[in-house]
Structure 1
């Protein structure tokens, strides 16, 4: 019997992102959405960590313990399972928010984008094109999104203290850039 999704599926997403960050490409890359879907569905036979990626055993273990069946997935009993994995052994999770980031970008003004790679204008899609607008309009019915975007979205800030959000800074306090 198929059951609904829980926040455990978000740990799968963390595994996918970690794989892409460490390996350099998505774990289920394919040329079409249908092929990608088939690779995800058949993850037991399609998930492969390339040997040329030269990942540490801890990296491989973390990826494989996130990209696995929901009942076996790291994080099923809470974020502490993930935080306590050997991959994160060198990180002081309790003092993480107090540490200075290894790279602090210099921001000169509110809309400064100098820290991002330049975008080739020839590769941009024209979002104002009539064809795109026509395609989007054809997918809408009475102003409602047909695919129920973000329906049952489960993201939470897993690394917060026991599921309680970290306090946000006072909006009236000064911002230092």
Structure 2
């Protein structure tokens, strides 16, 4: 992913064609890597790497060291390769050859193939490996641990589209010798197919895992939604109960006011035992009504407290569901990205197979033509 051109990222998921400008972008990246020791837009997270590539005008930086600053020509060459597609260096081979970096007194493009390299390693034999770095054997792990997230470290060419018709490589291939062409095609086929199959299996496995995770998340979400629906139904019932209690309280308060007025009237006109007896009865009724009113108020307070607790729990569950929905959306976008990568990978394999077959057929026809000419 460190070598992907920004225009490829901008057109992901769309139908778009690219020419050699994406290759020259990659050339700028590996020149930077050879000079600095790491790729220019590298970040720990794949998303951050893509963000740096999209914001290459601001994120492209060089170390502030005298040893680096002394290479002004190569720094300018890197900047012109790592620029927007409309102004990027590489519209023609002559344009690249005219860059100051390629102008020197030691070699030119006509003598480059026969020039003496600055360093010629001394070899004791064909199997001499003294110039290679020692590779320490890593201890075997107890079990194969799957990465938690897809980081794309093994996808160096995902989204990299190359149009042979738009590049000068076609003329170079036609001018090359038959032996070297057959060897290059054979080696390219072996390496490319090996990487593609491994990458295809890896992406397919990750896609299956992501789909299983999404299915499980959707199942949990449905369960949570059903639980929320049940909670909302409980809240509606409690609200109805509160409304009934409130109405009962209103009626009881109205009855109590009427009884109090009646008691006042009876008290004022109580002249005999019958009125006093009626007064006692009315007071008993008032006391009973007051007890009912007190109980109704307690019931209302308890119902309101229960509603408040249910509402708080419902809010927490809704928040959890919202986060779950966001997680599912991220997983679905990851699946779409994986599917797009698998499609691109399959297209690359088909295109490579077609080119190899065509090249071999051309070589066979050229070989037959040479034999007939020799006869």
Whole-angstrom distance in 2 between the partners of 1:130 and 1:159: 48
What is aligned with 1:74? 89
Corresponding position: 1:16 with 2:61? no
Once the two structures are superposed, residues 121-166 of structure 1 have per-residue CA deviations (whole angstroms, 9 ceiling, x without a partner) of 23x8x6x99738x89xxxxxxxxxxxx968744589x897x94246
Q: What is the CA-CA distance between 1:46 and the residue it aligns to?
A: 0.8
Q: What is the CA-CA distance between 1:4 and the residue it aligns to?
A: 2.1
Q: Which has the higher helix share?
A: 2
Whole-angstrom distance in 2 between the partners of 1:151 and 1:35: 19
Distance 1:108 1:9, change over 3 A: same
Q: What is the CA-CA distance between 1:32 and the residue it aligns to?
A: 2.0
Corresponding position: 1:103 with 2:119? yes
| Secondary structure of the structure 2 residue equivalent to 1:131 | coil
Whole-angstrom distance in 2 between the partners of 1:64 and 1:20: 13
Corresponding position: 1:164 with 2:164? no
TM-score relative to the length of structure 1:
0.68
Q: Which runs of 5+ in 1 are unaligned?
A: 136-147, 172-177
Corresponding position: 1:4 with 2:17? yes
Once the two structures are superposed, residues 48-103 of structure 1 have per-residue CA deviations (whole angstroms, 9 ceiling, x without a partner) of 12222324321221111100011111112x12221221011113111111112222
CA RMSD, Structure 1 to Structure 2 (Å)? 3.7
Whole-angstrom distance in 2 between the partners of 1:14 and 1:80: 16
Q: What is the CA-CA distance between 1:110 and the residue it aligns to?
A: 4.3
What is aligned with 1:113? 129
1:40 counterpart (48, 53, 66): 53
| Secondary structure of the structure 2 residue equivalent to 1:120 | coil
Retained in 2: the 8 A contact 1:29–1:36? yes
Whole-angstrom distance in 2 between the partners of 1:110 and 1:169: 26
Which deviates further from its counterpart, 104-113 or 62-71? 104-113
In the comparison of the two structures, how many residue pairs are matched? 154
What is aligned with 1:141? none
Whole-angstrom distance in 2 between the partners of 1:104 and 1:59: 23
Whole-angstrom distance in 1 between the partners of 2:121 and 2:19: 36
Retained in 1: the 8 A contact 2:42–2:49? yes
Retained in 1: the 8 A contact 2:24–2:89? yes
Whole-angstrom distance in 1 between the partners of 2:82 and 2:116: 31
TM-score relative to the length of structure 2:
0.35
| Secondary structure of the structure 2 residue equivalent to 1:100 | coil
